[in-house]
Amino acid sequence: MNLKTNLNNHERIDQLTAHGVQIIQSPEVFSFSLDAVLLADFCRPAKRADRRIIDLCAGNGAVGLFISHKTAASIIEVEIQPRLADMAQRSILLNGLEKQMSVLNLDAKQIFSSVNKDSVDTVVCNPPYFPDLEMSKKNPNQYLAIARHEIKINLDQVINISSQLLKMKGKFFLIHRPDRFSEILALLSQAQMAVNQVRLVYPKANRPANMILVEAIKKGSQQGMKFLPPLVVYDQNNQYTTAVRQMLHGK
């Protein structure tokens, strides 16, 4: 390990310049994508220092790190893969956030051994998008396969765990694929969470949406769903739109 940069072999430090956050990444295991930036921008976390936020399926900690400037609440990253959890912990130290953030290296399905039910104000999650089907083509890299496919946890489990973690009126923020929106709605309803806000993300203005952002409230009103203005990622010149550039680099 290089003590100066706190990096292992094949690791690098990237920066989200909009908020000056540095994050340790490795192409061998995982690098955050635009999904994490979009979810962090969409998230409206509890803000007070006596509140608690959980980032489920945290990977190398990108979403939790990216929302840290929005809140004084404690943020707990939950990640099953030890190497990714270690990267998240070192990124926390790299940014001087160890008083606000911590990492639990465990299976999210075992979280109640460390975090009480009905004790969390905000849950944020960028989960695996694709069902673990026998015929599914998976990345031979196990780290990437687990990040993309529901090998260790599925959507039903993510939503149920989140609901159990949340206090009454606690908020859940999710990014996922639009083709699973009807499933998301059904699972949220079963878990006693009501959708409050939805935002569709389009790769280009003339293309179908390829991501969806969802905010739900535990025991919230079933009548208040709002669709926010759409977000377009690339303009016709294949450059990031102004909205996305601001998320990445600031205004």
Query: Which of the residue ranges 16-30, 44-58, 219-233 would you say has the lowest mean pLDDT?
Result: 16-30
Q: 37, 28, 44: which is closest to 65 by C-alpha?
A: 37
| 92-105 tens-digit pLDDT | 999 999 999 999 99
Rounded-to-integer distance, Cα 110 and Cα 166, Å: 16
Mean pLDDT of the chain: 91
32 band by pLDDT with thresholds 50, 70 and 90: confident
Rounded-to-integer distance, Cα 82 and Cα 65, Å: 18
Mean predicted confidence (pLDDT) in 110-115: 97
Task: Provide the pLDDT for residue 190.
Answer: 97
- Asked if 232 contacts 240 with a C-beta cutoff of 8 angstroms, the reply is no
Task: Provide the pLDDT for residue 4.
Answer: 42
Query: Which of the residue ranges 78-92, 95-109, 137-151 would you say has the lowest mean pLDDT?
Result: 137-151
| 188-236 tens-digit pLDDT | 999 999 999 999 999 999 999 999 999 999 999 878 899 999 999 999 9
Task: Provide the pLDDT for residue 60.
Answer: 93
Task: Provide the pLDDT for residue 241.
Answer: 97
Query: Which of the residue ranges 3-7, 85-89, 118-122 would you say has the lowest mean pLDDT?
Result: 3-7
Task: Provide the pLDDT for residue 1.
Answer: 43
139 band by pLDDT with thresholds 50, 70 and 90: low
Report whether pLDDT(154) > 50: yes
Report whether pLDDT(72) > 60: yes
Q: Which residue has the higher pLDDT, 235 or 7?
A: 235
* CATH number corresponding to 12-249: 3.40.50.150
CA angle 43, 32, 208 (to 5 degrees): 70
CA distances 108 to 80, 88, 111, 160, Å, are: 7, 16, 5, 11
Report whether pLDDT(6) > 90: no
CA angle 156, 81, 12 (to 5 degrees): 125
